[in-house]
């Protein structure tokens, strides 16, 4: 299959000016990003790389990082984590508080903010230096020592993190948060501030397409059984109240972030990342979704 020519046709077919979309501005630092950026990178399991547009520019991966924190917490606590966070789609916006009240402080899944904050609490309990240890883990699975946090984005989110703070307080009242709220919030905003290019993101998520092994060294970092479960959670919960729509249109497990990035994987075939900061009303990249829909349609490669 000529992947590069398929990617070129996607770039040509998508006119970014046809899409409305708003750049996230509740984190002031993110509002500064050029809304017309658009790039895509496809990384195949045979180590092929195909790309177009702004695929080599770093952006804030935001909620995409929740999958990486989850896999680390899953390694540390194994199935005990499912006592504190469920695995059901929420059907609610990513930062919603409503379900928590009547579900006794147990978040629906680890990819909404409430669930991701519980995962951060677990990591803070286990790691000596949460920020440094998490970063080292990401550098290892991405095989890239240059990956880093963006302090400006982290600080900007922390100043405006009232909803996340509310989620933490509510869950603490139910006994589902063990550590100090400030410490968890600080770790969470750093985790979300990781910056990567589409290429780096697709390389990092190759782990999920390659049964938990690092492509190249073949080192088994995560057992396949745990990768299988995380992929299932990405499929059912990766796009909040638009998870059904993403599954319907694209047909791959994936995760979005309010920085405009989307990563998706096709187990045993490829990992792909798209970036465009224009978000639809559900907080997912409108153009990223359209690009991925075209990719699975044109390649006839979706898990369905």
CB of 49 to ligand GLN, least distance (A): 26
CB of 137 to ligand GLN, least distance (A): 19
CB of 96 to ligand GLN, least distance (A): 11
Of the pair 65, 296, the CB lying nearest ligand GLN is at: 65
HSE at residue 153, side-chain half, CA atoms within 13 A, is: 25
Q: Which residue is nearest to ligand GLN (CB)?
A: 63
CB of 261 to ligand GLN, least distance (A): 9
Answer for the pair 54, 41: CB distance below 8 angstroms, yes or no.
no
Encoded tokens for 229: 């479960």
Phi and psi torsions of 220, nearest 5°: -85, 105
Closest CA to 289 of 241, 258, 249: 249
DSSP structure string for 75-139: HHHGGGGGGTS--S---S-TT--HHHHHTTT--S-TTSHHHHHHHHHHHHHH-SSHHHHHHHHHH
DSSP class of 262: E
Closest CA to 201 of 104, 68, 37, 2: 68
Of the pair 89, 267, the CB lying nearest ligand GLN is at: 89
Of the pair 162, 224, the CB lying nearest ligand GLN is at: 162
CB of 263 to ligand GLN, least distance (A): 12
CB of 118 to ligand GLN, least distance (A): 13
Cβ atoms within 10 A of the Cβ of 34, count?
10
Of the pair 94, 275, the CB lying nearest ligand GLN is at: 94
Encoded tokens for 78: 């194994």
Separation of CA 254 from chain center: 8
CB of 67 to ligand GLN, least distance (A): 11
Residues that bind ligand GLN (CB under 6 A): 62-63, 94-95, 113, 157, 164, 192, 257-258, 283
Of the pair 50, 200, the CB lying nearest ligand GLN is at: 200
Of the pair 242, 269, the CB lying nearest ligand GLN is at: 242
Of the pair 39, 257, the CB lying nearest ligand GLN is at: 257
Encoded tokens for 89: 């789609």
Encoded tokens for 85: 């966070």
């Amino acid at each position: 299959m000529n992947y590069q020519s398929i990617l070129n046709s996607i770039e040509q077919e998508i006119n970014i000016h046809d899409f409305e979309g708003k750049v996230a501005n509740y984190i002031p630092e993110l509002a500064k990003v050029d809304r017309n950026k658009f790039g895509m990178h496809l990384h195949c399991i045979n180590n092929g790389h195909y790309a177009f547009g702004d695929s080599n520019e770093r952006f804030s991966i935001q909620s995409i990082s929740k999958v990486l924190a989850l896999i680390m917490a899953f390694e540390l606590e194994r199935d005990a984590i499912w006592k504190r966070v469920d695995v059901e789609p929420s059907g609610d916006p990513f930062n919603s508080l409503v379900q928590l009240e009547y579900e006794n402080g147990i978040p629906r899944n680890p990819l909404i903010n409430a669930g991701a904050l519980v995962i951060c609490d677990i990591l803070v309990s286990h790691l000596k230096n949460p920020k440094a240890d998490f970063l080292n883990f990401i550098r290892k699975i991405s095989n890239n020592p240059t990956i880093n946090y963006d302090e400006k984005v982290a600080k900007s989110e922390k100043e405006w993190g009232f909803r996340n703070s509310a989620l933490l307080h509510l869950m603490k009242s139910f006994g589902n948060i063990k550590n100090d709220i400030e410490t968890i919030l600080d770790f969470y905003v750093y985790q979300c501030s990781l910056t990567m290019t589409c290429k780096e993101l697709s390389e990092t998520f190759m782990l999920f397409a390659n049964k938990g092994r690092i492509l190249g060294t073949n080192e088994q970092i995560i057992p396949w059984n745990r990768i299988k479960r995380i992929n299932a959670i990405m499929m059912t919960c990766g796009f909040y109240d638009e998870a059904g729509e993403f599954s319907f249109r694209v047909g791959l497990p994936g995760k979005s972030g309010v920085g405009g990035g989307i990563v998706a994987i096709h187990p045993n075939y490829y990992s792909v990342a798209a970036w465009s900061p224009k978000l639809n009303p559900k907080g997912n990249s409108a153009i990223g979704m359209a690009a991925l829909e075209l990719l699975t349609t044109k390649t006839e490669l979706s898990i369905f």
